[in-house]
Structure 1
């Protein structure tokens, strides 16, 4: 996700480069104008702050996206090993590419999915992800391709019964995070949880 993201203003998120390190809000100049008692001076302050914000938006230094886009982007990078950063109001997040932020749409491929988050806002588990393909590689590991384009590979020796290579209509997967950046997957065929890593 775009590392410039910083401040959540529901339903908008304003994301300036300059504020990503300082921790200040790009709206702080607007907020400071509220304390000015004189009407004319307050209006002049607001005009100046809005003009600055507008210029930053025009230059691309500030970007506005809605909360749904952020959450979809987080789902799209779930399982990838990327630097973490914090967005106030949403908790800690996994980063990703800029395109993920504006184009990710997890609901398009798995509309029945259920996303569980921790109190801090981290994705803890995603259920009912549609599976489009199963492959058994040369090492005997199960490789699962999801409808959202993600590819996950088994990394342990758990025996997964009833699985064979090919398309399996109606098959879904649950994925949960574990300790130390690990992930576990279970298919809805009644099998066991197995350790997996995202490879794409």
Structure 2
């Protein structure tokens, strides 16, 4: 799982230009769209059949990646806590998505005491976190937590209505 989590952004970043708006869309996509301009019905249908087949081959070969809004939200949530470069497919003006980037509300899936009041825990969305300061609260599975982005790039966790405590993503 750790390898997959780190490999996913690396594969996507390697296949994306630095500024996606500066680059033309993939050829498989533009070829498919070009079919719309053909006036002859039989030729247009043949073009769509050929181009859609090539588009599907490109998708299966992972030359083209399709993500719907739900996939993007799920990926953003699972990567919360990692420092990532700006990726063009994460752009958007949906305010609910922006709030999701600033905090997540979830529960503790598994908990392990590290000693000296520090804890390691996992959340259902994926990811392992650790407290970076001693807690006086005893953590257990199923507790509701909120993890927020801190001011200087760190993260803060709130257990129930308790105070904010520093945490870091470790996996």
TM-score (norm 2): 0.68
Q: List aligned pairs for 1:120-199, cutoff 5 A.
A: 123-138=101-116, 140=117, 142-148=118-124, 150-155=127-132, 160-161=135-136, 163-164=137-138, 168-188=140-160, 190-199=161-170
Counterpart Cα distance in 1 of 2:127 and 2:29: 36
Q: Which residue of 2 aligns with 1:110?
A: none
For the 8 Å contact 1:124–1:177, the answer to whether it is kept is: yes
CA RMSD of aligned residues (A): 3.3
SS at match of 1:24: coil
Take 2:87 and 2:129, find their aligned partners in 1: how far apart are those partners? 24
CA contact (8 A) 1:160 1:191 kept: no
Partner residue in 2 for 1:54: 56
Q: Measured at CA, do residues 27 and 171 of structure 1 come closer, stay the same or move farther in structure 2, by a change above 3 Å? A: same
**Aligned equivalents of 1:77 and 1:45: distance in 2?**
39
Displacement, 1:73? Answer: 2.8
Q: 1:191 Cα shift?
A: 1.7
**C-alpha spacing 1:2/1:150, structure 2 compared with 1 (3 Å):** closer
The aligned residue for residue 80 of structure 1 is: 82
- Gap regions ≥5 residues in structure 1: 7-16, 93-115
The structural deviation recorded for 1:186 is 0.5
Residue 36 (structure 1) shift: 2.3
2:25 aligned partner: 24
